[in-house]
Amino acid sequence: MGGPLEGILVVALEQAVAAPFCSSRLADAGARVIKIERDEGDFARGYDHVAHGESAYFVWVNRGKESLCLNIKDEGDRELFLGIIARADVFIQNLAPGATARLGLASDYLRSTNERLITLDISGYGESGPYRHMKAYDLLVQCESGLASITGSPESPGRVGVSICDIACGMYAHAAILQALFERQSTGKGQGLSVSLFDSIADWLAVPLMHQEYTGKAPGRVGLNHPSISPYGAYRCGEGADVVISIQNNREWQNFCATVLERADMVDAPKFAQNTDRCSNRKELDGLIHECFLSLSREELVQRLNDANIAYASLNGVAELLQHAQLRKITVASPTGPVDCVAPPVIAFGKTFSPGAVPAVGEHSESIRDEFS
């Protein structure tokens, strides 16, 4: 495919989402990614069958890779694996805690066989600490980290609707590998890296953590509102549609009062003059906003918001996203036919992105065995 990582060989002993997300983005950039699978394949292949038989999860994070089926416990397959590692630039693994060490293939050992090798171990809770041996999946980490406690309605906690801990971890892993590759240009040597789902999402929870540490209280669950900014949330207009608005500063608050609510008297009212005041009196303020919005059609409300230069959005569902004017898509080849997917977020101007195909289980086993034997 070409790309900035052309010539980089990545070996991925991976499953599920976090590691495959990372390696797929390396493949997007032109790296050659050899995905090591069991004969039955990565279990994420069976998460669902919505893309004419293919798993949506698997298609999303496994494009552009080669699939090699190996039994690492078999002496011949182990030697083949080590032969590939000897020529590899990057090794990524997210097996169960301690699995590679029990196989005699711990990352530090692999680096001893190839000084240019960059290894990255993905785990649930890290390499040390009392939780290091615990299995971890996305929802479990959402709960363990406290993310679920600040997500959802005031009545009950909720799950973020995508695998956010896996994605966060995969993104940090991707960035770490790119940094290590850059560093290797000057040192000539690889290095060992590790990243966990827990540490990744804990970093994303930095603001709630600071609230807890310095005020003794984390932000509460406020549903479709912002816990620290008001008004910032979903409000219903006269036609029953929900419109989400955001007021970020006092200048916007002044415009909102004068042009949208047509209540200039509210601008400097003691209960609402500053954002902290508006948050403290959120219930009363929301009542006044609802009263105004319910008297307007969506068209009238949007016109006022535009006139006041107030940020707003529609409360869409996934069906609306599928038809959204801003949604960019790509078509990815798969073993059962082409699948429409979301395009990569980063646009490289002057370059055309061509995604690699999603491999069938063991599709490249024979050719890889011939190449490295």
Identify the residue whose tokens are 């406290």: 146
Catalytic residue among 52, 226, 290, 364: 226
Taking residue 226's Cβ as centre, other Cβ atoms within 10 Å add up to 16
Residues in the chain: 373
Look at the block and give the residue holding tokens 């219930």.
283
Instruction: Please report, for residues 1, 174, 355, 367, the alpha-carbon distance to residue 7 in angstroms, rounded to integers and kept in the order given.
Output: 11, 17, 17, 18
* CA 8/CA 90 separation, integer angstroms: 8
Cα 251 to Cα 131: distance, rounded to the nearest angstrom: 48
Q: Is 184 helix (H, G, I), strand (E, B) or coil?
A: helix
Answer whether 208's CB lies under 8 Å from 197's CB: no
Q: What is d(CA 79, CA 224) in angstroms, rounded to the nearest whole number?
A: 54
226 is an active site residue: yes
Q: How far apart are CA 66 and CA 10, in angstroms?
A: 10
Quote the CA–CA distance of 15 and 36 in Å, as a whole number. Answer: 9
Q: Provide the annotated active-site residues.
A: 226
